[in-house]
Chains A and B, each alone.
Chain A
Amino acid sequence: MTTTVLPRVNYLNVRHTLASWLFTKDHKRIGLMYLVVVTAAFALGGVFAAGVRIELTTPEGDFVSADTYNRLFTMHGVAMVFFVLIPAVPAILGNFVLPLMIGAKDVAFPKINLLSWYVFVIGFVFTLAAMAFGGVDTGWTFYTPYSTQFSNSSVMLTGIGIFITGFSSILTGLNFMVTIHRMRAPGMTWFRMPLFVWALYATSIVQILGTPVIAITVGMLALERALGFGIFDPRLGGDPVLFQHLFWFYSHPAVYIMILPPMGVISEVIACFSRKPVFGYSFVAFSSLAIAIFGFLVWAHHLFVAGISPYSAMVFSFLSFAVAVPSAVKTFNWTATLYKGAIWWQAPMIWVFGFLGLFLVGGLTGLFLASLGLDVHLHDTYFVVAHFHYIMVGGAIMGYFSGLHYWWPKMTGKMYSNSAATFAAVLVFVGFNLTFFPQFILGYLGMPRRYHVYAEEFQVLNVMSTAGASLLGVGYTLIASYLIHSVFRGRAAGDNPWGATGLEWETQSPPIPENFDETPIVTGGAYEYTKRGAKVA
């Protein structure tokens, strides 16, 4: 093993000027630049969430006005979905480790990679401008005709922001897909690739095929709102439900953009901290592809009570159940990976345990919503809110933090406090359950979502939810503080603090600008823990 002092030149200290960051083509630096913007968006979205939760502590609607409340939950959704969940794992972690994992010097198109970041930032600026001009109140789903004819908030600016950001996502997906096809090191065959790479590949498929459709749908919405074109306008004979079809054609698969990469992270971390190969490697790999492709066939389960044909609802319900199977396969394989492992309870693994528990609940409650007869009652209630937060926060964000903790020593060369990280993981897990589990009950009791004022009998559960949310807030702040602390005061991590396999651990921490001294040649599978693991650095 190499030394523990920060070694010679690395991608961080090779140049120090601001311009060297703003014009960098280094995928590692771009990953960190995404980290900064996404963290800002996460904080912003968190503030909006706090506003929502404070309002809902009492049933009366006495903290903010109805209009403000509507803007708060809309902007929470917009910030979190488009500027946190979708870019978090692919654009931050994927950018940083993908070329390292496959032994490449960079992604296939470094300039386009930088362009994606700028496009992302420009989209974010537009969205921020929309927020500054009073925000938007349509819900993140922008359903017509409210968004086209009735809302008097900044729909256009937000729409432009989302339209632009979509291209960042497309370009990232394109870049990753070409990188995986064309940039693998000698010997890195498809079935030697780490499962995170498979997950990113599957994600790229969704980004490439789905994102253009939301872009054009938002475009049509803009034409209708700004110029008076009639495409979804019921006054002309247009169908508002068509907007929902087109919107969810992207936005349901988008859920897989959010969850597939964290699933890949989980495979990496679970293999590393169990010291054994992932159980059923090819099944886990192919289930990622299956989820990506079948994910395109299920969108109308968001429309079961929206006025679609009951027969069509039947088809979509069936397909939705079918897509549950590959997710179940993944979960069973992860569980089986633990069997006869040598399980090392380090912080990233604690996050994985949290992920497994929360994703399980999120995935299984999906079955309730895929069930036609039950969805009629549950649709647009807090049950849905709880379900997707279990997937997106319990799944995607927990997976993201697991990956961030796992690769943090590689990204910064520094190690954070393991006990603080473990404590934060437990805190977030508890806080999360306290926030969102009561919402399942609220939903079945019939509390509709997006309600500013609600019936009094729902108050106790809402107070529990708000209490949990404050724990979550403390947890996330704690993570930010010890991670930032580690950058300045943390001890050097060493090249491979976890004793992990994988090419990214073969190079120094932080890596040199061109990743490897010489192109590695791969001779074996991704998780061959045949020797004793490395000592803790």
Chain B
Amino acid sequence: MLSGIPLFPEQASTLAPEVDNLYFFITAVTAFFALLVVVFVTVFAIKYRDRTGTKVGEPIHGSIPLEIGWSLIPFLITMVIFAWATVVFFQIVRAPDQTLEVYSTGKRWMWRFQHIDGKSEINELHVPLGRPVKVVFTSEDVLHSLYVPAFRVKADAIPGRYSSIWFTPTKTGEFHLFCAEYCGTNHSGMIGKVVVMEPNEYQAWLSGDTGLPMAARGEQLFQQLGCVSCHLPDGAGRGPSLLGKFGGQETLGDGTVVAVDDVYVRESILAPQQKLVAGYQPLMPTFQGQVNEEGVMSLIEYIKTLPSTGQPAAAAQARTAPAPAAQGGSR
């Protein structure tokens, strides 16, 4: 009857065998101890059974060596599991250096994925085989959790923060994608699929009916929102130049040094007064309410593309600033 039921899900990422090996090890250890206790209990219960209820057992009060033994041995075994599991965990949370990045936002009750090249999709995620992919995501309302069982990865989407998962698919095909953190009425409908494709098919899919690349959308926004009028490329504007800033460090007004990562950029757009760069006045208005999570992600993607010196690669970058009024009206 059970022959048709799989006992564990497909292994479709490089992480999956790592997690499964750990799983099999813990299963073996715990099954051994479970059987040990069950056998002892069963044997004692039968062997020493007294049907009359009138006999008395031997007054054994305990044994210190036994107590020490069965405290210490389980402790050591759990430490082995702990060490192994922690190693696997850091593999899961630490993405490799070169990843294909996909941005995503969860909102009740759908996942929206935005590829850097401009393609966007809902409740479906197309990725190429054999390449590490990192999905950076957040939530627009409540907690969600992005979960792909076949890849053994999961992380909560938290409003106001970025989370990420990464995986290298090892199998082509379609795999479940679930929301694992309860999010209201249609929680169980917030599902989709990950489609793993051969790299050439993936390229073909990408080049099909596509939108603007994220960086280009970011650039558009950069113009529309008037960012460009202050963040002049030569650093002469009212705000610091953003050329080559991403991935580096910045010194703040109070002397602390922060890493310029996506979180910092995001915060600087939405709550600019929080961490002011040294030497600049708190003039920048907040862009809360004027740009949504995806817009912020596009802006980040654009800022990432700005090279460290000279003119930006994106062709149309070195325009003169548009009318300053655009920036003044943004509050």
List residues of chain A with CB under 8 Å of any chain B CB.
61, 66-67, 70, 137-139, 143, 145-146, 149-151, 234-235, 237, 239-241, 274-277, 279-283, 305-307, 310, 313-314, 317-318, 321-322, 324-325, 328-329, 331-333, 335-336, 338-346, 353, 356-357, 360-361, 364-365, 367-368, 370-377, 379-381, 441, 444-446, 448-455, 457, 460-461, 498-499, 528-533, 535-536
Neighbouring A residues of B9 by C-beta, 8 Å: 444-446
CA distance A529 to B54 in the complex (A): 11
Complex Cα gap A452–B187 (Å):
8
Interchain CB contact (< 8 A) of B38 among A145, A360, A370, A535 = A360
In contact, B41 and A335 (Cβ under 8 angstroms): yes
B residues within 8 A CB of A379? 154, 180
Q: Map CB proximity to A onto B174-195 as digits: 1 under 8 Å, 0 otherwise.
A: 0010111111111111000000
Tally chain B residues at the interface, Cβ within 8 Å.
89
Evaluate contact between B154 and A376: CB separation under 8 angstroms. yes
Cβ contact within 8 Å between A345 and B49: yes
A67 and B189 CA atoms in complex are apart in Å by 12
With A66-B185, A70-B187: A372-B85 Cβ-Cβ less than 8 Å: yes
Among B9, B85, B149, the most chain A Cβ lie within 10 Å of the Cβ of B85
Q: How far is the CB of B42 from chain A (nearest CB, A)?
A: 9
Please give me the residue from chain A that is nearest to B80 by CB atom: A321
Q: Does A307 lie within 8 Å of B163, measured CB to CB?
A: yes
Cα(A40)–Cα(B222), bound, Å: 62
Stretch at the interface among B59-67, B199-207, B315-323: B59-67
Task: Say whether B74 faces chain A, with CB atoms less than 8 Å apart.
Answer: yes
Contact B154 A380 (CB under 8 A): yes
Does the CB pair B49–A283 fall under 8 Å? no
Contacts of A275 in B (CB 8 A): 50, 55-57
Min CB distance, A378 to chain B, in Å? 9
Q: How far is the CB of A370 from chain B (nearest CB, A)?
A: 8
B141 an interface residue at 8 Å Cβ cutoff? yes
Does B246 reach chain A (CB closer than 8 Å)? no
**B118 CB, min distance to chain A CBs, angstroms:** 29
In whole Å, how far is A24's beta carbon from the nearest beta carbon of chain B? 35
Asked if B67 and A329 sit within 8 Å, CB to CB, the answer is: yes
CB < 8 Å: which of B49, B75, B159, B178 contacts A446?
Answer: B178
Contact indicator A448/B62 (Cβ below 8 Å) = no
**Min C-beta distance of A512 to chain B, whole Å:** 27
Query: In residues 65-116 of chain B, which contact A (Cβ within 8 Å)?
Result: 66-67, 70-71, 74-75, 78-79, 81-82, 84-93, 108
Question: B188 to A453, Cβ gap below 8 A?
Answer: yes
With a 10 A CB-CB cut-off, give which of B6, B82, B87, B159 has the most chain A CB atoms.
B82
Q: Which A-chain residue is minimally distant from B81 (CB atoms)?
A: A371
Other A-B pairs beyond A377-B154, A451-B187, 9, CB < 8 Å: A137-B185, A234-B161, A240-B160, A277-B60, A321-B79, A338-B41, A368-B23, A374-B26, A441-B7
Which chain B positions have C-beta within 8 A of A361? 34
Query: Per-position contact with A for B138-168: 1 when CB-CB < 8 Å, else 0?
Result: 0001110101011011111011110100000
- Chain A nearest CB from B109 CB (Å) reads 10
Interface presence of B30 (CB below 8 A): yes
B5 at the interface (CB under 8 A from A): yes
Q: Are A325 and B160 in contact (CB under 8 A)?
A: no
One digit per residue, 1 when the CB lies within 8 angstroms of any chain A CB and 0 when it does not, for chain B 1-14 equals 00011111100000
Q: Which of A70, A277, A310 meets B185, CB within 8 Å?
A: A70
Within 8 Å CB of A137, what residues of B? 184-185
Q: Are B62 and A283 in contact (CB under 8 A)?
A: yes
Shortest distance between the CB of A75 and any CB in chain B (Å): 14
Answer whether A234 and B160 are a contact pair too, CB < 8 Å, given A345-B49, A372-B89, A373-B91.
yes
Whether B59 lies near A373 (C-beta < 8 A) is: no
Q: Choose from B4, B51, B143 the contact partner of A460 (Cβ within 8 Å).
A: B4
For residue B235, give the distance in angstroms from its CB to the closest CB of chain A: 30
Complex contacts, A532 vs chain B, CB 8 Å? 54-56
The smallest beta-carbon distance between A336 and chain B, in angstroms, is 7
B residues near A372, Cβ cutoff 8 Å: 85-86, 88-89
Closest 9 CB pairs of A and B: A446-B149, A373-B88, A276-B57, A371-B85, A372-B89, A234-B160, A342-B55, A341-B57, A338-B44
Does B117 touch A at the CB level, under 8 Å? no
Contact with A313, one of B44, B54, B89 (Cβ below 8 angstroms) = B89
Are the CB atoms of B60 and A373 closer together than 8 Å? no
**How far apart are A337's CB and chain B's nearest CB, in angstroms?**
8
Whether A281 contacts B61 by the Cβ 8 Å rule is yes
Interfacial chain B residues near A283, Cβ < 8 Å: 62, 67
Residues in B with CB closer than 8 Å to A333 are: 62, 67
A67 partner residues in chain B, CB cutoff 8 A: 185
Q: Is B22 an interface residue (CB 8 A)?
A: yes
Q: Which of B49, B57, B149 has the most CB of A within 10 A?
A: B57
A365–B45 CA distance with the chains assembled, in angstroms? 25
Cross-chain contact A280 with B50 (CB below 8 angstroms) = no
Whether the Cβ atoms of B41 and A453 lie closer than 8 Å is no
Tell me whether B19 is interfacial, beta carbon within 8 Å.
yes
In the complex, which of the residues A240, A310, A336, A536 contacts B143, with contact meaning CB atoms closer than 8 Å? A240
In whole angstroms, how far apart are the Cα atoms of A333 and B70 in the complex?
9
Known: A146-B142, A441-B7. A341 touches B48 (CB 8 A): yes
Pick from B53, B89, B92, B142: contact of A344, CB below 8 A. B53
Which residues of the partner chain B approach A341 to less than 8 Å between Cβ atoms?
44, 48, 57-58
Report yes or no: B82 in contact with A371, Cβ–Cβ below 8 A: yes
Q: How far is the CB of A392 from chain B (nearest CB, A)?
A: 19
Q: Which of A151, A281, A305, A346 contacts B145 (CB under 8 A)? A: A305
B33 within 8 A of partner (CB): yes
Shortest B64–chain A CB gap in Å is: 9
Chain A residues with CB under 8 Å of B82's CB are: 317-318, 321, 370-371
- Say how far B280's CB is from chain A's closest CB, in angstroms: 22
A324 touches B74 (CB 8 A): yes
CA A331 – CA B56 in complex, angstroms? 22
Residues of A within 8 A of B71 (CB): 325, 328-329
B147 touching A277, Cβ below 8 Å:
no
**Cα separation A345 to B47 with both chains bound (whole Å):** 12
Query: Which residues in B have their C-beta under 8 angstroms from that of A143?
Result: 142-143, 181-182
A336 to B59, CA, bound (A): 12
